[in-house]
Chains A and B, each alone.
Chain A
Amino acid sequence: MAKTKKNIVQTKNPRTGKYVKIDRSKGRIVDSKKSDGPYEGVPVLRKRSS
Chain B
Amino acid sequence: MIVYSPINGEVLTDAVKFYPRTAFIMTQLGSPLPEELTTIRNGLKKELLKFNFIEVDASSFVTGKDFLDKIWKLILGAPLGIAILTKDMTEKTIANIYYELGMMDALGKESLIVKSESYEIPSDFKRTEYVNFNSSFESSFKKFQTNLDERESHYWLMGELMEADPVLAIDYIKRAYLLTPRGKYINEARRLFNINKDKIDSQSKLHIKSFLKYG
Chain B residues contacting A13 (CB-CB under 8 Å) are 154
CB-contacts of A1-50 with B (<8 A): 9, 11-15, 22, 24-28, 45-50
Nearest B residue (CB) for A11: B157
Asked if B157 and A27 sit within 8 Å, CB to CB, the answer is no
Q: Are A27 and B160 in contact (CB under 8 A)?
A: no
Q: Contact: A27 with B168, CB < 8 Å?
A: yes
Report the bound CA distance from A11 to B169 in whole Å: 15
Contact B154 A14 (CB under 8 A): yes
Q: List residues of A whose CB falls within 8 A of some B CB.
A: 9, 11-15, 22, 24-28, 45-50
B164 at the interface (CB under 8 A from A): yes
Q: Does chain A have a CB within 8 A of B107?
A: no
Instruction: Kindly state the separation between the CA atoms of A14 and B153 in the bound complex, as whole angstroms.
Output: 9
- Name the residue of chain B whose CB is nearest to the CB of A50: B160
Chain B residues contacting A48 (CB-CB under 8 Å) are: 153, 156-157, 159-160
Interface string of B117-130 (1 = CB under 8 A from A): 00000000000000
8 closest A-B pairs by beta carbon, nearest first, are A27-B165, A27-B164, A14-B150, A27-B162, A48-B157, A22-B161, A48-B160, A14-B151
CB atoms of A9 and B150 under 8 A apart: no
Q: Which residues of B contact A (CB under 8 A)?
A: 110, 147, 150-151, 153-154, 156-166, 168-169
In terms of DSSP, what is the predominant structure of the interface of chain B? helix
Please state if A11 and B151 are interface contacts (CB–CB under 8 Å).
no
15 new A-B contacts, CB < 8 A, other than A15-B147, A27-B162, are A11-B157, A12-B154, A14-B153, A15-B151, A24-B161, A25-B164, A27-B161, A27-B163, A27-B164, A28-B162, A46-B157, A47-B157, A48-B156, A48-B157, A48-B159
- How long is the Cα–Cα vector from A50 to B185 in the complex, in angstroms? 11
Q: Which residue of B lies closest to A7 (CB)?
A: B164
Q: Is A26 a contact of B164 with CB atoms below 8 Å?
A: yes
Task: Verify A26–B154 contact, CB threshold 8 A.
Answer: no
